[in-house]
Amino acid sequence: MITLQHFLIIGISLFSIGLTTVIIKKNAILVLLGIELMLNGANVNLIGFSTNDPQIQGQIFSLFVIVVAAAEAVVALAIVVRVYQYFNTSNVDEPKELKG
């Protein structure tokens, strides 16, 4: 039987791995991957908490988060491609001209 603790362990693990990736890595693609892992960890927790709910509000909210994450990934990858074309690097620390 899958309990709430199983969902929480998986969700916290995904969120922690994503947060560690965002903090440690300098490559823009890997930072975006870490953000997606963090969003998926939050989704697992939402679905875990909604398993005992007779209404499916948590699952519907999780579906909206997935849609927003997909749109965020498209926009972020487009920005990364443009920055790579202009600066010839995907390292997030390299483009000095973008800083104010």
CATH code assigned at 43: 1.10.287.3510
Q: Is the pLDDT of residue 86 over 70?
A: yes
Whole domain around residue 73: which residue ranges?
A: 4-87
User: Is residue 94 a part of any domain in this protein?
Assistant: no
User: Is residue 92 a part of any domain in this protein?
Assistant: no
Residue from 42, 34, 39 nearest 17 by CA: 34
Mean pLDDT value across the chain:
91
User: Is residue 41 a part of any domain in this protein?
Assistant: yes
User: Is residue 67 a part of any domain in this protein?
Assistant: yes
Q: In the predicted model, what is the mean pLDDT of residues 66-93?
A: 90
> How many CB atoms are located within 10 Å of the residue 12 CB?
13
pLDDT for position 47: 93
Q: Is the pLDDT of residue 89 over 60?
A: yes
User: Is residue 9 a part of any domain in this protein?
Assistant: yes
pLDDT for position 81: 92
